Structure 1
Amino acid sequence: MSVYDELTSVQRCLDDLYRSVGRLEQQIGSGGLDIRRVRTDADHLRESVALLREAASVHASPRRPDLVTISDAPYDNTLWTDSDDEGLGARDRHAP
């Protein structure tokens, strides 16, 4: 199964759990500490799965940088007339 399928399966199970907790709250009452802890844990699980789904969607489709085509034609030499040769100094001067 893919990550997306697994996350969908987990989400369905959590939805079932959430409904079951709701039915328990109706039968037992929502005032008890135990049922409030179960409800809070179910809420935390839903939030965690939502965060995991976001993280999985980011990692699933990494964006490739756009490709740039570089021509094989030689550069125009006039582009370099005002620059010095790197590390060699100016053309009309000599190194010490």
Structure 2
Amino acid sequence: MTSSEIVELRRTLGRLRQCVGGMRARYGDIAAVRRLVNDLERLDIDVTELGELDDAPRPREAPRVGREVVVVPEAPYDPRLWHDADDEGLGGYRRT
């Protein structure tokens, strides 16, 4: 995000804050208005965090070369695959 976009977001949030203030004056402290106030506060926090991200170095993404989609079948596995396997999650219980 560019700094001009952050400035525009802040300006828009200011206008929205005025509208929500008008709603609070008209409808009072009802649940719907309190939710709008909370949402507005959350948006303000998020915009601040976005502005801070511009100054922070961005993590590099791992290259996507060599990644493939592996389809796992929904059919049950062959029980012979688990013959003589330990059930480690059950305290070492072993099927016979």
TM-score interval, smaller chain = 0.5 to 0.7
Q: 1:40 aligns with which of 35, 38, 41?
A: 38
Deviation at 1:57, TM superposition (A): 2.4
Q: RMSD of the TM alignment (CA)?
A: 1.7
Q: State the identity %.
A: 24
Give the TM-score normalised by the residue count of structure 1: 0.55
Which has the higher Rg, Structure 1 or Structure 2? 1
Runs of 5+ unmatched residues, structure 2: 59-96
TM-score by length of 2: 0.55
Runs of at least 5 residues in structure 1 that lack an aligned partner in the other structure: 61-96
Query: Match for 2:38: what amino acid?
Result: T
Deviating 4+ runs (over 2 angstroms): 57-60
Number of matched residues? 58
**1:58 CA displacement:** 2.5
